[in-house]
Amino acid sequence: MGVYEPNLIHESLRQAAVDRTGIVRRPKHPALQAIVEDAARLARAPIAAVTIIDQARQWFAARTGLDDEEGPRSDAFCAHTILRPGEPLIILDALEDVRFAQNPAVLADPHIRFYAGIPLVNRAGYALGALCVADTQPRSEVFDIYRLSHLARSAERLVSAI
C-alpha cells in the first residue's frame, strides 16, 4: 500500500480534534449503527462503517459486515478518505488502484474491491473519520453518492454531539 504521510502540523490538530470528541472511549451509539445500516442498504453493499481515524488505528464507531472493532491505520481506506475533507473517495476496483492493490483488506478477508467513503468533518474543518461502504465485487458505476453524503452529515452531527 502507498505510504501515508499527512501534514504533521495539520495531523496533530486533527488528532486533538479526534481526542476532544472522546468517541473512542464511549459505548457504541445506536443512531450511528442505524446510519451504517442505511448506508449499506443504499449502496447495496455487504460492508459499511462509521470510522474514526486515530494516530495509529482505524476504530469502527459503528459497523456492519466487519468482525473487528478496529484495524491499523496503515491499512485503512478511510485514512486516505480523510486527506481530502470536502471530497468523497470512490474506488471502483481496488485491485486496479495502485494505492490499494496490495492492501491486506483487498488481498485477504474481507476482500474489498469496491469502496466509497465520505469524510466526517467537524466544525473546524478536520476530518475525524469517514462513513464508508465496501463490496467484495468491483463496480462499474457508483450509486447515489449524494444520498450517502446526506447520511454522512447525520453521522457528523452525532459524532460531534456524543
Domain membership of residue 71 (yes or no) is yes
- Write the DSSP string, 4-59: ----HHHHHHHHHHHHHH-GGGSPPPHHHHHHHHHHHHHHT-SEEEEEEE-SSEEE
Entry pTM: 0.91
Report helix angle 145-161 to 30-43, nearest 10: 170
Q: Which residues contact 148 (CB under 8 A, 6 or more apart)?
A: 39, 42, 43, 88, 116, 118, 131, 133
Contact between residue 117 and residue 87 where contact means Cβ atoms under 8 Å apart: no
Spatial CA neighbour of 15 closest among 59, 68, 77, 65: 59
How many structural domains does the chain have?
Answer: 1
- The per-residue pLDDT for 22 is 81
Domain membership of residue 3 (yes or no) is no
Contact between residue 131 and residue 116 where contact means Cβ atoms under 8 Å apart: no
Domain membership of residue 2 (yes or no) is no
Domain membership of residue 1 (yes or no) is no
Low-confidence ranges of the chain (pLDDT < 50): 1-5
- The per-residue pLDDT for 51 is 96
Contact between residue 97 and residue 114 where contact means Cβ atoms under 8 Å apart: no
Q: How far is CA 30 from CA 18, 27, 75, 128, 152, in A?
A: 20, 9, 26, 19, 15
Contact between residue 129 and residue 82 where contact means Cβ atoms under 8 Å apart: yes
- The per-residue pLDDT for 162 is 66
Domain membership of residue 118 (yes or no) is yes
Q: What is the CATH number of the domain that holds 109?
A: 3.30.450.40
- The per-residue pLDDT for 70 is 92
